[in-house]
Structure 1
Amino acid sequence: MADKSNLLIFGATGSIGKYIIDAIVNARDSFGRIAIFTSPNTLTSKPDEINALRHKGVDILVGNIANRDEVLKAYDGVDTIISALGRGAIAAQIPLIQLANETPNIKRFLPSEYGTDIEYSPASQHEKPHQQKLKVRAALKEVRSDLEYAYVVTGPYADFPFYLGRSRSPRGGTFDVVAKKAVLLGDGQGRISLTACADVGKFVAHTLTHWDAARNRALKVNSFTTTPAEILAVFETHTKSTWSVEYTPLDELRALEKEAWDNGAPEATVYTLRRIWTEGGTLYDRRDNEDIGVTQTTTLSELVEDSIRKQVEELAPKH
């Protein structure tokens, strides 16, 4: 892009949004104006985060994401929208896309795609956790021809408290540092691609600075591909101990998934996603890291070391 883009980010203080805004701010020489749209509640509940962003030159726009006039006001003077809205707010992107379509100065929209590939197989259209993101993709297919998009598909987040953490539903997979216990999915040998949260931010920033390669594509990017057994071996190396190991075969995982959905249990989505990953839903013929100029990513060893530290700190007495 010859001219520097002016960016507006939704969800910038959320669990993945904070990594995205950090990466963008770190690459701020590549961009023009950087702004976030946040709610009055976030302004008061996360003052330190908001003030830190303001100190770094980020414009803080406050409003209601459901208020058409407030969103349109925020769209003034920007050309690129980046959404980092969480799973519970995915559908809220559809009116944001429709308003972007009505705003000629908006040229690019990156929806909140970070995570599982929602078109990984013909079965994807029926997966319950995919439904809202599929509607978002459908909305982007209806926009004017000069409103471009990119889907940054990262696969599951690796960091603690995500894949490399201790799970509240251990049968769905867990790496418990304190108990020195792991539950591996499948036979433990199935390959899975994971992404560090910091790398999600890096991928988004590089998508924006390598737009010719990213335009109107689903970018399949990740930090590394490994197996549950390899992950366990790294945990054992770092903790200098042998862990106890159990397995959740795919048939059992599918049964847990069905039971959770039938009972309206909150872990239903987790079981579905982990079943998809165990079936090979994060594996591709090629990954697109280098297409957007990303040649270095966080390593499994670095993330395991971080998970160990955070799990130990979590249980340490608070003074």
Structure 2
Amino acid sequence: MNRILIIGATGYIGKYMANASVSLGYPTYAFVRPSSAVPRSSKSTLLQKFRDDGIHILEGSLDDHNSLVNAFKQVDIVISAVAIPQHMDQLNIIKAIKEAGNIKRFLPSEFGNEVDRIRSLPPFQRINDIKKTIRRATEEAGIPYTFVSANSCAAYFVDYFLHPRQKPQPEEVIIYGDGLTKAVMNLEEDIASLTIMVTTDPRTLNRVVIYKPPMNLISQAEIVSLWEKKTGKYIKRVYWPEDEMIKLSESLPNPKNIPVSILHSIFVKGDQTNYEIGDEDLEALK
């Protein structure tokens, strides 16, 4: 059975990946910085849980070539779930994979929009351009890969919109644009499980896999209506026009201008739903 290594396993989506891998029965490894093991820190607690679940902890750094190569020689598949500030550091991962020579599949850290198909406001586009750079570097290196476009993490955005754990419950919700644009909302657990299965599927080798199940296409208006039905309470809609979002993306300093640019891409432009999946791509449920 393939041995799977998660880089960035203590991050938001990385935790789901690690849990899914071990739950599906794969020998699972987490590549973490030595600083993550500081006693009594939240990350050290998570790492202990990983150990209790049978996940092997490998310490190293994205800046330490030898630690990367040594880690990769112990596994078969590498999934990167590193955060945005570390995306360019994945060039070091690619270099180490090429030297190790044994990796059957590399998945760079994406798990969002299909970056080769969209053009966003500049603050978000800069992030997507870096992801595209990593894609091209992976292809040019000649290492086996799969690019995963997982679209939106459903639990994250429901919490962002509705603040369901807040007491008392908010009486109003911000709607971006007209609220009717469809986005793709996939549960984090499903994203992680599908990603682990994708890594060993021969059909996904050197291809883009898009998580776009029709039943998960939903608008902000529909999300709010479902919440009202669940709670039995009306929520006031406060609409945020597109032109105001664009102006804010231009006036806010970096990185504060990034969230509004992401929201514009997903919920105003509809960048997750405004294209068709071609013959060269794969939809995850297929």
TM-score bracket, shorter-length normalisation: 0.7 to 0.9
Structure 1 residue 235, shift from structure 2 partner: 1.2
Q: Which amino acid aligns with 1:247?
A: Y
Query: Following the alignment from structure 2 to structure 1, what is the Cα–Cα distance between the partners of residues 60 and 98?
Result: 20
Aligned to 1:212: 202
Structure 1 residue 120, shift from structure 2 partner: 2.2
Q: Which amino acid aligns with 2:148?
A: V
Aligned to 1:300: none
Query: Following the alignment from structure 1 to structure 2, what is the Cα–Cα distance between the partners of residues 142 and 116?
Result: 22
Q: Which amino acid aligns with 1:218?
A: V
SS of 1:164's equivalent in the other structure is helix
TM-score by length of 2: 0.88
Number of corresponding residues: 269
Query: Following the alignment from structure 1 to structure 2, what is the Cα–Cα distance between the partners of residues 200 and 91?
Result: 23
TM-score by length of 1: 0.79
Please state if 1:165 is matched with 2:159. Answer: yes
Aligned to 1:271: 260
Query: Following the alignment from structure 1 to structure 2, what is the Cα–Cα distance between the partners of residues 67 and 82?
Result: 18
Please point out which of 9, 15, 18 is paired with 1:18. 15
The answer on whether the counterparts of 1:250 and 1:275 sit within 8 Å (CA) in structure 2 is yes
Aligned to 1:88: 85
Please point out which of 24, 44, 48 is paired with 1:47. 44
Structure 2 alignment gaps of length 5 or more: none
Please state if 1:175 is matched with 2:162. Answer: yes
Q: Are residues 290 and 176 of structure 1, via their aligned partners in 2, closer, same or farther at CA, if it must alter by over 3 Å?
A: closer
Structure 1 residue 240, shift from structure 2 partner: 1.0
Query: Following the alignment from structure 1 to structure 2, what is the Cα–Cα distance between the partners of residues 255 and 94?
Result: 34
The answer on whether the counterparts of 2:120 and 2:261 sit within 8 Å (CA) in structure 1 is no
Aligned to 2:128: 130
Please state if 1:77 is matched with 2:70. Answer: no
Query: Following the alignment from structure 1 to structure 2, what is the Cα–Cα distance between the partners of residues 108 and 98?
Result: 14
Q: Are residues 57 and 175 of structure 1, via their aligned partners in 2, closer, same or farther at CA, if it must alter by over 3 Å?
A: closer
Structure 1 residue 125, shift from structure 2 partner: 11
Higher mean alpha-carbon deviation, 52-61 vs 123-132, is at: 123-132
Structure 1 residue 131, shift from structure 2 partner: 2.4
Aligned to 1:107: 104
Structure 1 alignment gaps of length 5 or more: 167-173, 292-319
Structure 1 residue 176, shift from structure 2 partner: 4.5
Structure 1 vs Structure 2 CA RMSD = 1.8
The answer on whether the counterparts of 1:93 and 1:111 sit within 8 Å (CA) in structure 2 is yes
Structure 1 residue 104, shift from structure 2 partner: 1.4
1:137-185 Cα deviation digits (max 9, x unpaired): 12102113xx2111111112221xx32124xxxxxxx334522211111
Matches within 5 A, 1:1-319: 4-28=1-25, 31=26, 33-44=27-38, 45=41, 46-121=43-118, 123=119, 127-144=125-142, 147-159=143-155, 162-166=156-160, 174-177=161-164, 178-209=169-200, 211-222=201-212, 224-260=216-252, 263-264=253-254, 266-277=255-266, 278-283=268-273, 284-286=275-277, 288-291=283-286
Q: Which amino acid aligns with 1:139?
A: A
Structure 1 residue 48, shift from structure 2 partner: 2.4
Query: Following the alignment from structure 2 to structure 1, what is the Cα–Cα distance between the partners of residues 190 and 103?
Result: 26
Query: Following the alignment from structure 2 to structure 1, what is the Cα–Cα distance between the partners of residues 163 and 237?
Result: 10
1:28-78 Cα deviation digits (max 9, x unpaired): 1xx3x3211111111223222212211222211112221111111111232
Q: Are residues 233 and 57 of structure 1, via their aligned partners in 2, closer, same or farther at CA, if it must alter by over 3 Å?
A: same
The answer on whether the counterparts of 1:148 and 1:216 sit within 8 Å (CA) in structure 2 is yes
Query: Following the alignment from structure 2 to structure 1, what is the Cα–Cα distance between the partners of residues 204 and 121?
Result: 24
The answer on whether the counterparts of 2:146 and 2:199 sit within 8 Å (CA) in structure 1 is no
Aligned to 1:309: none
Structure 1 residue 124, shift from structure 2 partner: 5.7
SS of 1:140's equivalent in the other structure is helix
Structure 1 residue 16, shift from structure 2 partner: 0.7
